[in-house]
């Protein structure tokens, strides 16, 4: 009899197991493939590893203005992939070691939830493990829309398939201009591939402020965008789509990446069979990650509330606190808040944001004032990137009470800067509060302060 069984060994699952183990609970973690889940094995970590290699290649190839010359610089996709695998294996073994340190039992296989009255259990390859509570962290899977010519087409890959490619395609067509699509477009564009992005919406990266998205598009190397276009069919590696004005157009490629998003994984663990309330987005949960079944929680991508690894971490902590309280006969006061969850795109250049965009504030009827600052106001930014490199920070402020509602960053280091902006919003800080803060100099994060000083009185 376990205190908790966790289905899924991705970010939400393994972090929950670690936290529960530290608190002395008897925990079983069930993972059907690799510890670390999608993020570590075929998502966040592999793409960032390859993007770093692409950045090193670009820095060497374009180093002449900085006095660094590397004639004949080249890259090896095979060696980049080998490094990616080494990074993944190192981190995966680290997760396994952490499970041992926390005395978490780990079983390999597909966990199926079984609920019979008050009893709880998870069946793995015919073996039933009993438990007092269950945390489902089954993650998500890539969406493959029913586009004619896409299914069983060896030229059409999802992100997992493209992460195993043997060489950079000469021509890559990316269907989908969200985070996944833009990161891969940036990666292969930097390596010299001719990239076309076909996006159904009028702009890329939905959470990005509409002032910064065009700057992002102009910054990506060797990339052409087709916005407001609906893909109609794929023939071999030629993608046909209908443009805004209703005309049929096409893009010929060597490889097609299907990057239209991900959906919650609710089938493999028999959610509906167990009576779990599943919506089109994922498992329905409250702000403590409780499902409609007593004793069953769901955290991470599987509930569809915020499909980000760092969101899964926080959801796992909220669920763990509530599970422990329930096991001890109480209820946790900790709840999940979504108003200060940052997002980041690790492209070249990076982008990140937190809180409301100007467009979202307008849709909510909130009167705001905004201001921006170019990154070239930072001495460090110029020293490391030059005066022509793209970069900007935009802040959104409530016009009535001067509270900071959103911060949006485009440029190098955006992903490392955004946590500070998250702290500003989480703590409901106002313009006057931030103006009194001391930022390190010289640093690129000073541009956030400069943007806030540009807010009119």
List, by residue number, the catalytic residues. Answer: 441
Closest CA to 46 of 309, 315, 356, 440: 309
CA distance linking residue 75 with residue 190, whole number of Å: 11
Is the CB of residue 180 less than 8 Å from the CB of residue 307? no
The pairing of strands 238-242 and 248-252 is antiparallel
Is the CB of residue 370 less than 8 Å from the CB of residue 451? no
* 3-class secondary-structure state, position 421: helix
Closest CA to 162 of 150, 178, 174, 152: 174
Cα–Cα distances in angstroms (integers) from residue 67 to residues 46, 63, 283, 310, 332, in the given order: 31, 7, 55, 39, 58
411: which 2 tokens?
A: 């440029």
14: which 2 tokens?
A: 């393994």
Closest CA to 287 of 318, 324, 312, 327: 318
């Amino acid at each position: 009899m376990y205190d908790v069984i966790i289905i899924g060994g991705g970010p939400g699952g393994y972090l929950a197991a670690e936290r529960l183990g530290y608190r002395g609970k008897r925990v079983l973690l069930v993972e059907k493939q690799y510890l670390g889940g999608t993020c570590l094995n075929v998502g966040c970590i592999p793409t960032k590893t390859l993007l770093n290699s692409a950045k090193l290649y670009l820095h060497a190839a374009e180093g002449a203005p900085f006095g660094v010359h590397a004639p004949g610089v080249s890259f090896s996709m095979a060696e980049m992939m080998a490094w990616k695998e080494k990074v993944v294996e190192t981190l995966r073994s680290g997760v396994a070691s952490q499970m041992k340190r926390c005395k978490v039992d780990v079983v390999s296989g597909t966990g199926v939830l079984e609920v019979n009255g008050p009893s709880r259990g998870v069946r793995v390859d015919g073996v039933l493990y009993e438990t007092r509570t269950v945390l489902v962290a089954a993650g998500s899977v890539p969406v493959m829309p029913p586009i004619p010519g896409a299914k069983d087409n060896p030229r059409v890959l999802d992100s997992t398939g493209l992460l195993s490619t043997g060489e950079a395609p000469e021509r890559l067509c990316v269907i989908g201009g969200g985070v996944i699509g833009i990161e891969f477009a940036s990666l292969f564009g930097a390596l010299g591939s001719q990239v076309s992005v076909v996006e159904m919406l009028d702009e890329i990266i939905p959470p990005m402020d509409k002032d910064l998205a065009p700057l992002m598009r102009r910054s990506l190397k060797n990339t052409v965008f087709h916005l407001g276009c609906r893909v109609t069919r794929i023939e071999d590696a030629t993608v046909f789509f209908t443009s805004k004005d209703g005309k049929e157009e096409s893009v010929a490629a060597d490889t097609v990446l299907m990057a239209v998003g991900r959906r919650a994984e609710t089938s493999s663990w028999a959610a509906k069979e167990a009576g779990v309330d599943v919506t089109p987005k994922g498992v329905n949960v409250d702000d403590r990650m409780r499902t409609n079944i007593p004793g069953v929680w769901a955290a991470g991508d599987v509930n569809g509330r915020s499909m980000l690894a760092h969101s899964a971490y926080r959801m796992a902590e909220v669920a763990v606190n509530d599970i422990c309280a329930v096991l001890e006969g109480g209820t946790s006061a900790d709840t999940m808040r979504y108003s200060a969850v940052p997002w980041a795109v690790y492209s070249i250049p990076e982008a990140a944001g937190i809180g409301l965009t100007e467009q979202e504030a307008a849709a909510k009827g909130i009167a705001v004032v905004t201001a921006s600052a170019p990154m070239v106001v930072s001495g460090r930014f110029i020293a490391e990137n030059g005066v022509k490199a793209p970069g900007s920070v935009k802040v959104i402020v409530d016009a009535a009470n001067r509270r900071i509602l959103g911060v949006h960053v485009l440029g190098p280091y955006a992903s490392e800067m955004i946590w500070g902006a998250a702290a500003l919003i989480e703590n409901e800080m106002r313009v006057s509060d931030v103006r009194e803060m001391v930022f390190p100099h010289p640093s690129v994060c000073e541009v956030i302060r400069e943007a806030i000083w540009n807010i009119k009185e």
